[in-house]
Amino acid sequence: MENKISGKVYVLGNDIDTDQIIPAHYLTYNPAIPEERKMFGKYALCGLPEASQGLPFGKIPFVEKDADRSGYKLIVAGKNFGCGSSREHAPLALQQSGIEAVVAEFYARIFFRNSVNGGYLIPFETPARLVEKFKTGEDVELDVRSGILKNKTQNTEFPLKPLGDILPILEAGDIFRYAGKK
């Protein structure tokens, strides 16, 4: 796990569900086969509606046409990120697309646990609503250790909630490697 994550941010609203993250008809790919595992990244967030909650979903592609990965490193989202079905493929799809962390107001519990247990991405929570304070494509930097998210484009920063008990699991890589150290 890197101490700092820098790159472009993709901004989403509330209630982004697992079918928006990776629609069910793409679950025919086998993540154990490397060529097929890449397809989860290619189709990540392709289930977003054209427009929702006043944010530009559909107008700014998450993964460019004919690309296997996104140009974004971090997602800033609203409430209830990862709601819907309990599919483990949702955090995998984001990880395969190039996302290293998601900052949301709160998560659906199963999405949160799947993210941590599989070591797919870092699920930070924010005490403040940030979706109106960031624009898709802005440069950001997340200091994982201090829990500070910087909007480098606007020269602002925001404290996030501490990772707490999940930090050692993320540092180990996933729940199995963490358990192996005990």
- The average pLDDT across 85-114 equals 95
pLDDT at 146 over 50: yes
Q: What is the pLDDT of residue 14?
A: 94
- Predicted local confidence at residue 36, as pLDDT: 95
Band of the pLDDT at 1, cuts 50, 70, 90?
confident
pLDDT of residue 56: 52
Considering only 10-24, 42-56, 103-117, which range has the smallest mean pLDDT?
A: 42-56
pLDDT tens digit string along 8-37? 999 999 999 999 999 999 999 999 999 999
CATH code assigned at 106? 3.20.19.10
Query: Which of 174, 12, 38, 31 minimizes the C-alpha distance to 107?
Result: 12
pTM: 0.93
Domain span holding position 106 = 4-181
Helices within the chain (DSSP H only): 18-21, 34-42, 89-97, 109-117, 167-172, 175-181
H or E stretch at 6: strand 4-11
Number of domains in the chain: 1
Residue 53 has pLDDT above 50, yes or no: no
Spatial distance between the Cα atoms of 34 and 173, rounded to a whole number of angstroms: 19
